[in-house]
C-alpha cells in the first residue's frame, strides 16, 4: 500500500473547513492530521507533524494567511502549500503563488480539481522524499576467548580497508586499542553516548581520534565508571550513526556474549571469528558458531580466521574446518617479534611494515570482505594425534554436557 498524503487545514470559516475536510475524506489517498483557525498554532502543528501539504484558505484573514505561507515556504520545505479561496481572482492567485503556494484550490471544491491537486502533491512528495542515508559496512573482529589477537587483527584490518574507516573499541571496561595505534584519545564512546541527542557530523568527528587520513578510532572510556552508564541501545545508536559517516566500521568487541556485544554482533555485516590453533580456542570458536546459529545469523556473515598459525603446530587445517563445519578463510602466521614490535610502537603492520606475511594476509582478508574472493592454501600433512585428542574430548563433552542455551550464553561466565 502506498503512503497516504497527509494534510493540515488553516481556515477561518467553519464552513470552508468542513467542506475541505469532507472533500479530503472522500479521497482514499488523503489523511487529515490537524486543522484550525489560528495560524500560530497551526504553524507549530506543521513543524511537529511534517504533513505533505497545508491547505490555507484566503478569506477575511488573507494577510495573515499569506504571511503563514511565506514562513512555511522558507522553513518547512517538505510541506506543499495549497491556497484555497472562493475568490479565484488572478490577483489573489498571483499573491498566493508569490507567497509560496504550489497549488490553488477553488471553493467550493470541484472533485476533478481536487483530484488534480492530489496528483500534483503526490509528485511533489516523491521529489522531496529524503534519499536513504548511506550505510557503511560493519565488521566485528570477534573471539569468545581472550588473547587470540582480536585487537591486533582489528587494528590492522581497519588500516587495510580501502576507504574511510572507524575502528571502535567495544571493550568498554578495559579497551586498549589506542596503544595499538599509538594514540592518546581525549574523547571516547562515553562522550558520544552522552551527547547522542545532538549528534551531527561535526560533533561525531570531534569525538573520534584520527590515526591517518583514512582511519580513525572511537576509543573506549578511560574511566571504567563511565562505561557502566552505556546501554546496548546507546551502542546501537552510536554505531548506526558511525555507519553514516564512514565507509567501514571495524569493531573490537568483548570476548563475551553480553548484551552490548550482542547488539554489536547483530548489527555487523561480517563477523571475523578469530581463533588460535589450540583446543580451548577451537572449542570456543565452535561454541560461538553454535550461538550464532541460535541467534539466527546466516553462516555467510561469519568468516573464520586463524591467528598465530605456524608450521610447527601439530595439526591439519582441513580438520579444523571439518570440526567447525566452516572453511577457514585466512590465517595469520605467528611472528611474535614482528607482532609485538608493531604493538609496542603503536604502528599497525599494514601501514608500517606492509611487506610482512601478517600484513599481506590481513590485506587478503580485507580484500575478501570488501569483495574479492580468496583461496586457502592446502594445509600440509595430516597429524592424527592432535585431532584424535580433540575429537575425543568433543565426544566426551557431547556425551556429558547439557546443551548450551542462548539464555545461558548471554551470561559471560558461561560463554567463556
* Residue 114, all three cell numbers: 481536487
Closest CA relative to residue 256, chosen from 152, 142, 153: 142
Q: Which is nearer to Mg ion, 39 or 151 (CB)?
A: 151
Least CB distance from residue 310 to ligand ATP, whole Å? Answer: 9
Identify the CA nearest to 333 among candidates 87, 69, 88, 152: 152
Between residues 36 and 146, which has the closer beta carbon with respect to Mg ion?
Answer: 146
**Residue closer to ligand ATP, measured from CB, 83 or 272:** 272
SS3 273: strand
Binds ligand ATP (CB under 6 A): choice among 20, 249, 315, 332: 332
- By CB under 6 A, the residues from 233 to 272 that bind ligand ATP are 255
Residue number closest to ligand ATP, CB atom: 146
Is residue 362 a contact partner of residue 306, using CB atoms and an 8 Å limit? no
x/- letters, 293..322, toward ligand ATP (CB under 6 A): --------------xx--------------
State in angstroms the smallest separation of the CB of 171 from Mg ion.
6
Asked whether the CA dihedral 353, 354, 356, 358 is positive or negative, the reply is positive
Segment lying near ligand ATP (by CB under 6 A), choices 23-31, 32-40, 144-152, 384-392: 144-152
**187-222 burial by CB neighbour count: b if 16+ within 10 A, else e?**
bbbbbbbeeeeebeeeebeebbbebeebbbbbbbbe
Taking CB under 6 A as the criterion, the residue among 148, 215, 218, 288 binding ligand ATP is 148
Bridge partners for 35 per DSSP: 9
Q: Which ranges in 325-377 belong to alpha helices (H)?
A: 336-345, 349-352, 357-370
Q: Could you say whether residue 283 binds ligand ATP (CB under 6 A)?
A: no
Only segment of 43-51, 195-203, 330-338, 367-375 that touches ligand ATP (CB under 6 A): 330-338
Q: Give the shortest CB-272-to-ligand ATP separation in angstroms.
A: 12
When CB distances are held under 5 to 8 angstroms depending on the partner's kind, the choice from ligand ATP, Mg ion, none that residue 396 binds is none
Strand 248-252 and strand 137-142: the pairing is parallel
**Binding partner of 343, given ligand ATP, Mg ion, none, CB within 5-8 angstroms per partner class:** ligand ATP
Q: Which of 89, 51, 83 is nearest to 69 (CA)?
A: 83
Among 143, 216, 261, 284, which residue interacts with ligand ATP (rule: CB under 6 A)?
Answer: 143
Q: Please report how close the Cβ of residue 149 comes to Mg ion at its closest, in angstroms.
A: 8
The count of other CB atoms within 10 Å of the CB of residue 161 is 24
CB of 259 to ligand ATP, least distance (A): 18
Q: Which is nearer to ligand ATP, 345 or 389 (CB)?
A: 345
User: Which region among 6-14, 51-59, 140-148, 320-328 touches ligand ATP (by CB under 6 A)?
Assistant: 140-148
Q: Which of 218, 328, 358, 365 binds ligand ATP (CB under 6 A)?
A: 358
**Interface of this chain with Mg ion, residues 146 to 165, rule: CB under 5 A:** 151
Cell numbers at 53, concatenated: 501539504
Q: How far is the CB of 253 from Mg ion (least distance, A)?
A: 9
Rounded to 10 deg, the angle between the 317-324 and 279-294 helix axes is 30
Gap between the Cα atoms of 414 and 283, Å rounded: 13
Q: Which is nearer to ligand ATP, 38 or 314 (CB)?
A: 314
Smallest separation (angstroms) from ligand ATP to the CB of 154? 8
Cβ atoms of 82 and 73 within 8 Å: the answer is no
How far apart CA 411 and CA 401 sit, in angstroms, is 17
**DSSP class per residue in 112-150:** HHHHHHHHHHHHHHHHHSPPPPP--EEEEEE-SSTTSSH
For residue 294, what is its C-alpha cell?
Answer: 541460535
Minimal distance in Å, beta carbon 415 to ligand ATP? 14
Q: Tell me if 146 contacts ligand ATP by CB under 6 A.
A: yes
Q: How far is the CB of 186 from ligand ATP (least distance, A)?
A: 23
- In whole angstroms, how close is the CB of 78 to ligand ATP at the nearest point? 46
Q: Which three cell numbers stand for residue 208?
A: 573520534
> What are the residues whose beta carbons fall under 8 Å from the beta carbon of 407, sequence distance 6 or more?
none
Q: Pairing state of beta strands 103-106 and 80-85? A: parallel
**335 is a contact residue toward ligand ATP (CB under 6 A):** yes
Closer residue to ligand ATP, CB minimum distance, 61 or 415:
415
Binding site for ligand ATP (CB under 6 A): 143, 146-152, 255, 307-308, 332, 334-336, 339-340, 343, 358
Amino acid at each position: 500500500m502506498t503512503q497516504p498524503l497527509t494534510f493540515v487545514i488553516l481556515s477561518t470559516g467553519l464552513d470552508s473547513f468542513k467542506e475541505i475536510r469532507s472533500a479530503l475524506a472522500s479521497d482514499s489517498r488523503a489523511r487529515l492530521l490537524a486543522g484550525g483557525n489560528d495560524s500560530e498554532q497551526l504553524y507549530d502543528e506543521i513543524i511537529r507533524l511534517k504533513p505533505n501539504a497545508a491547505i490555507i484558505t484566503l478569506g477575511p484573514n488573507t494577510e495573515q494567511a499569506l504571511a503563514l505561507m511565506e514562513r512555511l515556504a522558507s522553513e518547512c520545505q517538505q510541506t506543499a502549500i495549497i491556497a484555497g479561496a472562493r475568490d479565484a481572482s488572478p490577483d489573489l492567485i498571483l499573491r498566493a503563488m508569490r507567497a509560496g503556494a504550489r497549488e490553488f484550490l477553488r471553493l467550493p471544491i470541484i472533485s476533478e480539481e481536487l483530484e488534480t491537486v492530489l496528483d500534483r502533491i503526490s509528485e511533489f512528495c516523491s521529489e522531496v522524499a529524503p534519499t536513504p542515508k548511506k550505510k557503511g559496512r560493519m565488521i566485528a573482529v570477534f573471539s569468545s576467548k581472550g588473547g587470540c589477537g582480536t585487537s591486533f587483527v582489528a587494528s590492522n584490518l581497519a588500516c587495510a580497508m580501502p576507504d574511510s574507516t572507524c575502528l571502535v573499541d567495544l571493550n568498554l571496561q578495559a579497551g586498549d586499542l589506542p596503544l595499538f595505534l599509538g594514540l592518546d584519545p581525549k574523547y571516547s564512546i562515553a562522550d558520544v553516548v552522552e551527547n547522542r541527542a545532538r549528534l551531527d557530523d561535526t560533533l561525531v568527528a570531534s569525538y573520534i581520534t584520527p590515526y591517518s587520513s583514512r582511519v580513525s578510532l572511537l576509543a573506549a572510556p578511560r574511566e571504567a565508571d563511565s562505561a557502566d552508564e552505556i546501554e546496548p541501545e546507546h551502542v546501537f545508536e552510536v554505531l548506526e550513526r558511525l555507519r553514516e559517516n564512514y565507509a567501514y566500521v571495524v569493531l573490537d568487541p568483548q570476548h563475551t556474549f553480553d548484551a552490548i556485544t550482542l547488539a554489536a554482533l547483530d548489527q555487523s555485516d561480517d563477523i571475523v571469528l578469530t581463533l588460535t590453533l589450540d583446543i580451548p580456542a577451537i572449542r570456543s570458536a565452535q561454541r560461538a558458531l553454535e550461538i550464532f546459529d541460535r541467534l539466527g545469523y546466516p553462516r555467510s556473515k561469519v568468516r573464520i580466521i586463524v591467528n598465530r598459525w605456524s608450521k610447527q603446530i601439530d595439526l591439519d587445517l582441513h580438520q579444523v574446518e571439518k570440526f567447525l563445519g566452516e572453511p577457514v578463510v585466512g590465517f595469520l602466521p605467528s611472528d611474535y617479534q614482528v607482532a609485538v614490535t608493531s604493538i609496542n610502537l603503536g604502528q599497525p603492520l599494514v601501514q608500517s611494515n606492509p611487506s610482512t606475511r601478517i600484513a599481506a594476509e590481513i590485506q587478503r582478508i580485507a580484500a575478501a570482505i570488501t569483495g574479492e574472493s580468496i583461496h586457502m592454501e592446502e594445509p600440509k600433512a595430516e597429524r592424527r594425534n592432535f585431532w584424535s585428542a580433540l575429537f575425543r574430548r568433543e565426544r566426551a563433552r557431547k556425551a556429558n554436557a547439557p546443551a548450551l542455551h542462548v539464555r545461558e550464553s548471554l551470561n559471560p561466565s558461561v560463554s567463556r
